[in-house]
Structure 1
Amino acid sequence: MKGYSKPLILILSVLAVDQLSKFWIKLNMTLGQEYKIFGDWFIIHFTENNGMAFGLEFGGETGKLALSLFRIIAVIGIGYGLHYMIKRKYHRGFILNVALIFAGAMGNIIDSTFYGVIFSESTWFEKARLFPAEGGYSSLLHGKVVDMLYFPIIKGNFPTWFPIWGGEDFLFFRPVFNVADSAITVAVALILLYQKHYFKEEVVEPASYNSEVVED
């Protein structure tokens, strides 16, 4: 187990925070409900998406199934890659970042795979229930991903002379996301920032030659 402990602890920690926060949101908030944490720039806002990270959509029911299956295949690949990197003693920072990506991908897979089966529908007027007698709101692999982290830090309007969006409202940061999305985003950012450190090329010393001249 040498080399596996820290990545495993990181994965389990991220999954625990991600799933506990999603369960609490589903069971205690109605769709669209929100709580202001730090003024108007950090808000817990309950929403769900049928597709990818940050609320992006992907191709209806068929697309949803394809995306869920793709996620499962991808996380299996990431898990195998993580095992390979640990065995080959890759840079510890890089391994932990890949573990973050694995945890984030797994967190959203749990939503899309099981939430439709174990929860009732969250609506604007009614909170979800866990293991409802009438069954869940959807089938296996068709669950919705729970999002709640919202950071509308900067609000304003584009100037009228601005191309395409001139005069329209401006909001940064608009997407609502979750802990799993955050783990993936942070890991990718760190890999990009520290890639030269993670992937240092070994400097091969030139072979030493005998200084003596060998005569025939």
Structure 2
Amino acid sequence: MKYRHIVLIVVLILIVDQALKFWIKTNMTIAEQFPVISDWFFIHFIENEGMAYGLKFGGEFGKIALTLFRLIAVVIGFFYMRKLVKEKYHNGLLVCGALILAGAAGNLIDSMFYGLIFSESTRYELAQFMPADGGYGTFLHGNVVDMLYFPLFDGTLPNWVPIWGGEHIIFFRPVFNIADAAISVGVITILLFQKRFLHKKTEAGGQPVSSTPAIDDTQKVM
């Protein structure tokens, strides 16, 4: 895999992620939803000020710190992916790295610019793109747009279930976006296939070589 393939994956995910977010912002009000597949997949519009899946991080200062951290991570990520490509690491690792990088960049765009280019979304009014009076926030203070909601189970658990018996639960409750999904898929896949992914090929034979340094024979004796 070449570096341009990594960039292409990132760009494609960003286009889909941002296109859906733009449509949501300009066509739905906060908390509005509609079903996509039966009663277990909805488009449900919310915004969050913090991390993936609606998590928050330390108020106003935390918001700025998180956005700056994302920016630094994305810049470093592109350089690191180039290094992995040159060292001929497994294509699976490169694809997963591109997914994580695209996800981080997608949410970074929201945090950096959405406060500048959109008016505020409310329960009663649609957001306007490039409003005459300016956006709802300043640089680095945009909210992340989430919309994918999968309540796979929404009901009351039987009384015989330990701890949660008789309680009403929703699984899966978090609302997320395509950028969040890209990060999750990339990280989980690397964890599941790390033994296969964390090696590179030799220039000559193309056979996998472990990225873990080999132990010298003299060290074995000692």
* TM-score above 0.5: yes
Cα deviation 1:87-142 (Å, max 9, x = unaligned)? 11111111111011000000000000000010000000000001111110011001
Residue 209 of structure 2 corresponds to residue 202 of structure 1: yes
Give the stretch that moved more between structures: 158-167 or 63-72: 158-167
- Using the TM superposition, name which of 188-197 and 172-181 deviates more: 188-197
1:4 to 2:29 alignment: no
SS where residue 15 of structure 1 aligns?
Answer: helix
- Is this contact kept in 1: 2:3–2:81, CA < 8 A? no
Q: Give the structure 1 partner of residue 124 of structure 2.
A: 125
Instruction: Output the aligned Cα RMSD.
Output: 2.0
Q: Which residue of 1 aligns with 2:18?
A: 19
2:79 counterpart of 1:80 = yes
1:202 partner SS: strand
8 Å contact kept, 2:145–2:177: yes
The residue type equivalent to 1:127 in the other structure is L
What is residue 149 of structure 1 aligned with on the other side? 148
Partners of 1:153 and 1:143 lie apart in 2 by 30
Partner in structure 1 of residue 205 of structure 2: none
CA distances 1:43-91 after superposition (whole Å, capped 9, x unpaired): 0000000100001111211111111111111112222211110111111
Most deviating of 43-52 and 194-203: 194-203
Q: Distance in 2 between matches of 1:52 and 1:163?
A: 31
SS at match of 1:37: strand
Secondary structure of residue in 1 paired with 2:119: coil
Counterpart of 1:84 in 2: which secondary structure?
helix
Q: Per-residue deviation at 1:202?
A: 3.0
Where in structure 2 are the equivalents of 1:94-173 lying within 5 Å? 94-160=93-159, 165-173=164-172
> Letter of the aligned partner of 2:40 in structure 1?
W
Q: For 1:151-179, what per-residue CA distance to the aligned partner results, in whole angstroms no more than 9, with x for missing partners?
A: 00112224446565443211110000000
The answer for the alignment partner of 2:220 in structure 1 is none
Alpha-carbon distance between aligned partners in 2 of 1:43 and 1:8, rounded to the nearest angstrom: 30
- The worse-fitting range, judged by mean Cα deviation, of 76-85 and 137-146 is 76-85
- Percent identical residues: 54
SS in 2 for 1:35: strand
Report the 3-state secondary structure (helix = DSSP H, G, I; strand = E; otherwise coil) of the residue aligned with 2:125. Answer: coil
Unaligned runs of 5+ in 2: 200-207, 218-222
Give the TM-score taking structure 1 as reference length. Answer: 0.89
Q: Give the aligned partner of residue 212 of structure 1.
A: none
String of CA shifts for 1:183-208, please: whole Å, max 9, x gaps.
0111111111211111257388xx9x
Q: Distance in 2 between matches of 1:100 and 1:47?
A: 23
User: Any idea what SS the aligned residue of 2:129 has?
Assistant: coil
3-state SS of 2:173 partner: coil
After the TM superposition, list the runs of 4 or more consecutive aligned residues in structure 1 that deviate by more than 6 angstroms: none
Segment drifting more, 67-76 vs 16-25: 67-76
* Bigger radius of gyration among the two: 1
Tell me the SS of whatever aligns to 1:136: coil
